Structure 1
């Protein structure tokens, strides 16, 4: 029903609506009458008439209230709305009094207590969301409610429940929430089967009469295995050994060797870093440096290298800071693992801190939900999940756990929050060294404080000996740019000025004095000496006999601690004595503090004892400061820290109220901390949580009876090795996700995975030993007709390599890849890794040119290398279980035009030309290095055409390898 039709309940209501876009048809015979009515309306002036309607009258409602409700509210808050917002109806008087999730919309007679008024004033919430109503309209609503809210709409309000009811028993019938079942493979294995995986897959293939492909050729299988397990191409030596003996026994040996290699742990750590939304900076509005994030990356590498059980890793990442530890290394790993909860991007400068806290909690719930459960729990923040059996109460049961956890703590600067840090264990020797350093530091600081006080007393006595006429810089006339400072003491007055070592030849300062008598005066200037000062400063003195220019060396003084004499000059009292200091032709800082004129014949002499005392105090202070520098230079490293959560103090542990519509200050009933009821037997609420409840959450996630966690992880591993998940939506096992193509196989692998101690390497070994893994990716028209998307794995999926593997393969082909781990490439960055001023360190971010594995390069939000983003590098702002795969011409263009990629190609070409003498040997080596195969006859002919009689041309070899780097075959696995 259109707004126009709704509004025709009264002519006066229609008059307040915007003009309808639909034409109003009028019978010709009625035209004159209509004209008279309209003319009458304009003559009477409806606004004037409505202004006289008392707020307690029906006319006031019809003229001023109903049109606003129709125009701005009915779309979401009427019986005709597609979805009723907040369970609130505003299309009848009863409905407004009954209200919705937030209670009654109006309290007749009390506008201040009416939630409708606070909503349209944008206080409790912001309604209407399209834009705030005018103050005049808001005042109309307040007056109407104060007058009793007269409302002629008598339609009985339809009952609207506060939240929809989710049938959890029905939800548990969905495949993902059923218990994991141990299934036996079909009893009749087919020829070529290498285990249960092949038997499960063959059963589905035979059901649709599809014959699977045979094995890929030996070189293709080795390349596939090497990139899948290590993210690197197989070495030339490994290629030779495999091709000379492509036996099953040799395959198993190579698999075991790769699983034991450091490269395996680094490559599979990178897979999980996508899920953990790993980054070395915060991004968002305040791109703060995550100086300690690298510890989490290295924890993952250590964990995959030692085949740490995945259930243990889950427990550590959710509640590691709370887990008991038998050794310092175990405590270190436990705490660092919980960095997982801290890595999301945050609006650190958000001034509404309760909102920031709720947003952080939302990120943590969403991450835990999708990473471990394959569920989009964030969808239940504002209402019951639309598709999955996750009530809003369950979301806030989890929210209580994370609200009882400290993630953000304090501020790095005004309004800008920073994150919680937890100290890590270190050796007793380290702790003793730190304690000894702190003791020495306190002692020397006390000595410096005492010596500084003595020095200041000596300065006061010295300044009391100053005679003659003294002109301070504050009294001088300045030309050009001079910056005020108090940085270096001592000085005359409240400070001094300097030229900032810039704009040379444009700045001068003129000290002018009226001397009391004619005569000879000694002229002195004051400044603090330093090696950064200028050495040949022109100083012009205007005397009784004209002007004279001398050169001043401000790297030293002639009269300690801060005076230098320019000489003796004759002045007349009838004309001003002028001293001008310029920065013309200088190199270094030019300082201007004060000028002193001393009558040579009558000035009292400075007490030499006072000068000596001042010099002694200054020397003592300088000595102590030198000792401090030596102490600081040899200070031990600080106690290591992790960016990690911790539980709140007991008094601050809390269950969370429901936040109606997800709004911070619109609170509903409190929900006890707990878990998802659809995945739990009995009551999912915690009776007596230990601290925040994260320990209980970790136990619940890793319970062998949990229907989701093992399935989700096994499916991720299958996807990385087989190109697609058994559940293709690897982060969503809910109703909106895809159903598993082989549910029995998924469950069988999940059961075996848990039975084998939740260890990754045996799972990978089972998959890569299967015949399915070793099939070719060749096209077969008959099979494609029966299974066009290859959901039954009759062939291997052709896959694009991850961006990191493509980049590492190029560095490897150039012979430059340094396998030594990198600890922390972000150490040189300060609080902000990037900002908009001259102190930005964004230009110093180590890029792809660093010859280390990509996993060790910084991941700085907002500054990802364009070569990597073009190849679909994971967005660190998001949890990425499966990377998008694009294959567009732009990728080849980025690679072939990248200076860094071209340099790698040039280095590879130089190496090949030095190591091989003949054209044929060079060509074969290039193909083995870059594509891990021998060149075909077609490749050889194409190469001969390209080199066209110039087989030794270094530039052509460079161009040839650069073209291979940009080729589709280089970027894809068959």
Structure 2
């Protein structure tokens, strides 16, 4: 409720209570019922409940309607939405509308009735508890495996039972050549090499079961397994390396989260731990994992501007992005639908929504140094470099102060000094600072100047240029465009000064200044990068006798001392070198979210931050038992850790179901629940509900594969790809098409076009150009740009791009001019399941793009070299490299004619354009 509405309602209620303070108690039957019957029950009664609101039962009144606000709060008419509506405080929600407004004296009766406790004879003990019988909201119970045990794999038993109801069975087993191609692509995203295929065919002929099992185990152990399955996860959470706003700024070092996901799948990190780390990894030595929380798009402060209402709205929008990410990926529930009102389909209220935002109130989109465990490689390398920096600092300390350039800020070191106040007198006529930090030798990482420590700041220009840049921004802990900016006439003597008054005397020895630290930490690739000046200033400190004494100055640090002690130059060079290495090899500021002190969370009526209502505690949805036992005083890390534990518990009805279904979807093309990120009432029903629950239970506690770990993704994948269902042929049959044309019953392996990444990576693999290295910075295909310019593709095919497409810079709202045509996601929306389109542009890109032209020549050259220049053998070799087989006689003849009329690279381009290359066998 905004302030005007609140004032109006409070005034009306106060006048009503004052007028009737001596009136008799309200009689419900005689005083209240006639009012409700005349004005309310025809729209909000037994037969009809507009906006989900029912007013003919007290428990329904207390719950309220779709707005999520209780219509009646006994004893509190000012908190009762019913009174606000009948008073027409907000004309958009005026009830009854227009000229049908309830007379003032009747409203007074309702106010007094609520004030007296909303007594309703016969209904005082009734409670309207939220209940649901929706299948996915029920506890996971492992069903019995059907049949007589003749199926070695329980998955087949469930599927065959359902197929038998339609007089169907599995198709014959797939041939070994298409089988290795299928399982290799689905597990690693890469085609098998011709040598791998040859070895498998030989082993398969000797012992098909053992050969296939060994193949699956090898693929699961491949470092490329994590790359393939990381891409699936990144699709769901909309991960990208730009923010997607008008400026679409780069997210510096966001790739560190991508590498975390790849490692997690390669290491087979238990999924429950995977969930906990992504929500609260900063408390678990896996700080990079919280990149999950800020994976969605957002509008940065520079674009939002300085209007307070716009700032509050943007913050609410960022919280909603987190809700969408958590809801779609881990919970399989459309939480965001409850942002403005109770969920239309599922038992999730607006209070549930804002309780969940309360969990993440301490998260902000931006960068920080990730928290690493002691054995993390970056942490260990960082220790080595910090030791080198400390040694050089010790040497410099004997000669006085010095300055270090950390890219984001300049840090000036001085001899320690105990003081209650300090004053910085700038020598430049223009000064721009987003933050001024002060540190001491005792608590080296504590900013003694931060306003929350009780420090106060003052200046001879407290409001800055044009009164728009208040000096208080210097100590608010916020980096970026919200700066203190001053300007003095360069021809006059007066210059800016800043005074810091500490709450108690502090021992200080460092100053840290920056002009726009957010740009350095969060973005890059700008043609006009933030200017980090070498600030020139003198520092005075307050002595115990109340006098100000000159302490030091940057002129002395940067000029006099270096001239007086020439040996300082070598130490300064070594420090700067170590700083540069630390930024590259050690813990680095990365776009994995930054943490702020969480505010009290309130329900936003109709989703507006200008209409705040009741306070809510951090919690999950009530229907799932989401009470975390926390209140608004709980620290941010504690909130997220408690929520993560609740979400990853084995008895949570959604977590295991959603992930088991997601794994199934990526292997069979469609989930048992086709709407893989919506398990709610509006989502699709499962095609095999018992099988899904069995898989969810098996995921939590494996029983089929001996000694398997709980929550093991690789164990679940192995179970599914070892099934007869997975290994059957994909060829259609007349009986199957008549009974189940969509193939949801899995009477054959469903046909599926491979993703853009598989097409591109397979072409590179065929030409022997693919760089197989795992992890690290993304390769660039884009330009540097001005802040509000657009990204442009400048090189999407050169040798520096010959890594897996997972490592291509992932920019929102940018067409990569080749593979976006193959439904590569924009990352603006959740892509739990990629669409599959067929367009002329796909064929044109695979025939005429610079990438394909270049790679086709390389494949042709490789085939020619491998075959000793023999044209026929070169054709055969091209088939082996791209399709994994030898050509038929008519294919060989046609390709020879094409190669002689043109060149061998055109044959390669033709093969790349075949369905056989682009579809799973």
TM (normalized to structure 1)?
Answer: 0.62
Q: Report how far residue 859 of structure 1 moved.
A: 0.8
Structure 1 match to 2:613:
668
Q: CA distance change for structure 1 residues 942 and 433 in 2, over 3 Å: closer, same or farther?
A: same
- Name the counterpart of 1:853: 804
What is the deviation of 1:924? 2.1
**Out of 132, 140, 147, which is 1:187 matched to?**
147
Q: Is residue 104 of structure 1 aligned with residue 84 of structure 2?
A: yes
300-309 vs 705-714, which deviates more?
Answer: 300-309
| Residue range with higher mean Cα deviation, 199-208 or 242-251 | 242-251
Q: Does structure 2 retain, via aligned residues, the 8 Å contact 1:106–1:115?
A: no
What is the distance in 1 between the residues matched to 2:841 and 2:572? 54
Candidates 201, 207, 210, aligned match of 2:165 = 207
1:559 paired residue number = none
From the superposition, tell whether residues 704 and 963 of structure 1 become closer, same or farther in structure 2 (CA, over 3 Å). Answer: same
Distance 1:617 1:942 in 2: 81
* 1:850-898 Cα distance to aligned partner (Å, 9 max, x none): 1111112211223341212101112222221111111222211122121
Query: Pairwise mapping of residues 321-336 of structure 1 onto structure 2 (< 5 A)?
Result: 321-323=282-284, 331=285, 334-336=286-288
| Cα pair 2:138 2:653 within 8 Å, conserved | yes
Answer yes or no: is the 8 Å Cα contact 1:281–1:833 preserved in 2: no
**How far, CA to CA, are the matches of 1:438 and 1:847 in structure 2?**
46
In the alignment, structure 1 residue 807 sits paired with structure 2 residue 754: no
Q: Which moved more, 1:936-945 or 1:723-732?
A: 936-945
Residue number in structure 2 paired with 1:708: 654
Shift of 1:267: 1.0
Partner of 1:289: 250
Say which of 885, 889, 892 aligns to 2:836: 885
CA distance in 2 between partners of 1:219 and 1:793 (Å): 21
Pairwise CA distance, 1:669:
1.6
Mark the CA change 1:98 to 1:965 in structure 2 (over 3 Å): closer, same or farther: same
Contact 1:660-1:668 within 8 A present in 2 as well: yes
Partner of 1:301: 262
The answer as to whether partners of 2:730 and 2:748 remain within 8 angstroms in 1 is yes
Q: Cα offset for 1:210?
A: 1.4
1:970: which partner in 2?
917
* CA distance in structure 1 between the partners assigned to 2:165 and 2:855 by the alignment: 50
Q: In the superposition, relative to structure 1, how do residues 763 and 809 fare at CA in structure 2: closer, same or farther (>3 Å)?
A: same
Post-superposition CA distance 1:646-698 (Å, at most 9, x none): 6644xx553x21111000111222222211122228x5664798533111111
Check if 1:235 corresponds to 2:193. Answer: yes
What is aligned with 1:748?
A: 694
Do 2:657 and 2:696's aligned partners in 1 also have CA atoms closer than 8 Å? Answer: yes
Query: Where does residue 919 of structure 1 map in the other structure?
Result: 871
1:630 aligns with 2:576: no
Shift of 1:99: 12
For 1:116 and 1:402, how far apart are their aligned partners in 2? 33
- Secondary structure (helix, strand or coil) at the match of 1:245 reads helix
Residues 1:694 and 1:629: Cα distance change in structure 2 (over 3 Å): closer
C-alpha separation between the residues in 2 aligned to 1:816 and 1:911?
Answer: 10
RMSD of the alignment, in Å? 4.3
Q: Distance in 2 between matches of 1:338 and 1:911?
A: 44
Q: 1:435 & 1:791 partners in 2: Cα distance?
A: 64
Q: In the alignment, which of 876, 890, 908 is matched to residue 961 of structure 1?
A: 908
> In structure 2, how many angstroms separate the alpha carbons of the residues matched to 1:902 and 1:381?
49
Q: Is the Cα–Cα contact under 8 Å of residues 102 and 660 in structure 1 kept in the other structure?
A: no
Once residues 828 and 313 of structure 1 are traced to their aligned partners in structure 2, the CA distance between those partners, rounded to angstroms, is: 31
| TM-score, reference length from structure 2 | 0.65
Of residues 279, 295, 306, the one that matches 2:240 is: 279
Q: Distance in 2 between matches of 1:233 and 1:689?
A: 54
Change in Cα spacing, 1:391 to 1:105, as seen in structure 2 (3 Å) is closer
Cα distance in structure 1, aligned partners of 2:723 and 2:213: 11
Unaligned runs of 5+ in 2: 1-42, 54-63, 68-76, 119-125, 374-378, 404-411, 414-426, 428-489, 493-558, 703-709
Structure 1: any 5+ residue segments left out of the alignment?
1-75, 90-96, 109-113, 121-127, 129-140, 324-330, 409-417, 451-455, 457-491, 495-615
Paired residues of 2:898 and 2:906 also in contact (CA < 8 A):
no
- Going from structure 1 to structure 2, the CA distance change for 1:434 and 1:275 (only over 3 Å counts) comes to farther
Q: Does the Cα contact within 8 Å between 1:848 and 1:857 map onto a contact in 2?
A: no
Aligned partner of residue 620 in structure 2, secondary structure? coil
Contact 2:780–2:809, Cα closer than 8 Å, also in 1: no
Asked whether the equivalents of residues 690 and 696 of structure 1 are also in contact (C-alpha less than 8 Å), the reply is no
Contact 2:237 2:328 in 1 (8 A): no
Alignment check: 8 A CA contact 2:797 2:850 kept = no
**Alpha-carbon separation, structure 2, partners of 1:873 and 1:677:** 37
1:290 to partner: Cα distance: 1.8
Residue 36 of structure 2 is matched in structure 1 by: none
Alignment match of 1:718 (pick from 652, 664, 682): 664
Q: Partner residue of 1:220?
A: 178
1:423–1:640 Cα contact (<8 Å) kept: no
Q: Would the aligned equivalents of 1:102 and 1:668 in 2 still touch at CA under 8 Å?
A: no
Counterpart Cα distance in 2 of 1:153 and 1:890:
68
Q: C-alpha separation between the residues in 1 aligned to 2:719 and 2:202?
A: 24
Instruction: Pick closer, same or farther for the CA change 1:107–1:734 going to 2, 3 Å.
Output: closer
Distance 1:625 1:825, change over 3 A: farther
Tell me how far 1:424 sits from its aligned partner.
4.5
Q: CA deviation at 1:232?
A: 0.3
- Corresponding residue number in structure 1 for 2:386: 431
SS of residue in 1 equivalent to 2:726: coil
Q: Cα–Cα, structure 1 residues 432 and 684, in superposed 2: closer, same or farther, change >3 Å? A: closer
Count residues with an aligned counterpart.
663
SS at match of 2:885: coil
Contact 1:676 1:684 in 2 (8 A): no
Shift of 1:746: 0.9
Find the partner of 2:591 among 643, 662, 672.
Answer: 643
Task: Report the 3-state secondary structure (helix = DSSP H, G, I; strand = E; otherwise coil) of the residue aligned with 1:365.
Answer: helix
Name the SS of the counterpart of 2:184 in structure 1: helix
Q: How does 1:140-155 map to 2 (within 5 A)?
A: none
The alpha carbon displacement at 1:435 in A equals 2.9
TM-fit CA distance, 1:276 = 2.6
* 2:322 aligns with one of 357, 364, 370: 364
In the alignment, is the contact (CA less than 8 A) between 1:964 and 1:970 conserved in 2? yes
Indicate conservation of the 8 Å contact 2:237/2:295, yes or no: yes
Contact 1:712 1:730 in 2 (8 A): yes
Do the aligned partners of residues 703 and 640 (structure 1) sit closer, same or farther apart at CA in structure 2, a change above 3 Å counting?
same
Q: Quote the Cα distance in structure 1 between the aligned partners of 2:668 and 2:165.
A: 21
- Provide, for residues 32-71 of structure 1, a one-character-per-residue CA deviation record: whole Å limited to 9, x for no partner: xxxxxxxxxxxxxxxxxxxxxxxxxxxxxxxxxxxxxxxx
Could you tell me which residue of structure 1 aligns to residue 725 of structure 2?
772
Aligned to 1:691: 635
256-265 vs 886-895, greater mean Cα deviation: 886-895
Q: Is the 8 A contact 1:717 1:764 kept in 2?
A: yes
SS of equivalent residue, structure 2 residue 727? coil
Q: CA deviation at 1:341?
A: 0.4
Between structure 1 and structure 2, the one with the greater Rg is 1
Measured against aligned partners, the alpha-carbon deviations of 1:621-649 in whole angstroms (never above 9, x if no partner) come to: 99799668734652332452343446644
Post-superposition Cα deviations, 1:351-385, rounded to whole Å, max 9, x if no partner, equal 32222221111111121111011110000000110
CA contact (8 A) 1:800 1:972 kept: yes
Tell whether the 8 Å contact from 1:375 to 1:732 is kept in structure 2 after alignment: yes
Classify 1:783/1:354 alpha carbon distance in 2 versus 1 (closer, same or farther; 3 Å).
same
Please give the alpha-carbon distance, in whole angstroms, between the structure 1 residues aligned to 2:634 and 2:718. Answer: 39
Paired with 1:924 and 1:166, the residues of 2 have a C-alpha distance of 76
Counterparts in 2 of 1:439 and 1:212: CA distance versus 1, 3 Å: same
Instruction: Supply the distance in 2 between the matched residues of 1:906 and 1:815 (Cα, whole angstroms).
Output: 12
Whole-Å separation in 2 of the counterparts to 1:689 and 1:658: 17
Partner Cα distance (1:827, 1:889) in 2:
27
Q: Aligned pair 1:385/2:385, yes or no?
A: no
1:88 touches 1:101 (CA, 8 Å); kept in 2?
A: no
Q: Is the 8 A contact 2:725 2:746 kept in 1?
A: yes
In the TM superposition, what is the alpha-carbon distance from 1:943 to its structure 2 partner?
2.1
How far, CA to CA, are the matches of 1:424 and 1:439 in structure 2?
Answer: 27
- Asked whether 1:905 is paired with 2:856, we answer yes
Q: Is the 8 A contact 2:324 2:335 kept in 1?
A: yes
In structure 2, the residue matched to 1:736 is 682
Matching residue of 1:819: 772
